[in-house]
């Protein structure tokens, strides 16, 4: 099983619908992140959480919300999806206790808003 699992892998939804993307991890990491990938724009941070009670906005949080249900689970919601939220979404984790700062990424969720 993957260390960081994202569901669904692909999703097509209609404008105005609410949608939730889920992320779970078995790494035991305390820090979790949601990034969005668009062609030519790289990976941009939406939200991040350093522990269960900590939620922080990233550079592009407008139109998104998150919930850290447990140390291992971090979900991203689009309350009212719009077409320009069509993108590839990645969840990532890291461990504050390790000397390294490397992230472990999930395989991504490809979201299309029509």
Partner 1 sequence: GENVEQHPSTLSVQEGDSAVIKCTYSDSASNYFPWYKQELGKGPQLIIDIRSNVGEKKDQRIAVTLNKTAKHFSLHITETQPEDSAVYFCAASIGGFQKLVFGTGTRLLVSP
- Cα–Cα distance measured from residue 91 to residue 82, given in angstroms and rounded to the nearest whole number: 20
From residue 29, give the alpha-carbon distance in Å to each of 72, 87, 100, 109: 8, 26, 12, 21
The two three-digit tokens of residue 74, written as one number: 């971090």
Which stretches of the chain are assigned E, i.e. beta strand?
A: 4-7, 10-13, 19-25, 31-38, 42-51, 54-57, 64-70, 73-78, 87-94, 104-105, 109-113
Stretch that binds partner 1, among 20-28, 38-46, 60-68, 71-79 (CB under 8 A): 38-46
Kindly tell me which residue out of 23, 68, 78, 106 binds partner 1, with binding defined by CB under 8 A: 106
CB of 81 to partner 1, least distance (A): 22
Interface with partner 1 (CB under 8 A), residue total: 27
Q: Can residue 51 be called a binding residue for partner 1 (CB under 8 A)?
A: no
Stretch that binds partner 1, among 16-24, 30-38, 61-69, 71-79 (CB under 8 A): 30-38
Q: Which residues bind partner 1 (CB under 8 A)?
A: 4, 31, 33, 35, 40-45, 48, 50, 58-59, 90, 92, 94, 96, 100-108
């Amino acid at each position: 099983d993957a260390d960081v699992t994202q569901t669904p892998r692909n999703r097509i939804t209609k404008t105005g619908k609410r949608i939730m993307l889920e992320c779970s991890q078995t790494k035991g990491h305390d820090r979790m992140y949601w990034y969005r990938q668009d062609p030519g724009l790289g990976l941009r941070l939406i939200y991040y959480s350093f522990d269960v009670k900590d939620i922080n906005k990233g550079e592009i949080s407008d139109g998104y919300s998150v919930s850290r249900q447990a140390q291992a689970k971090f979900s991203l919601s689009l309350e009212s999806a719009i077409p320009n939220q069509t993108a590839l979404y990645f969840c990532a984790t890291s461990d504050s206790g390790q000397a390294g700062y490397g992230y472990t990424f999930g395989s991504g969720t490809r979201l299309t808003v029509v």
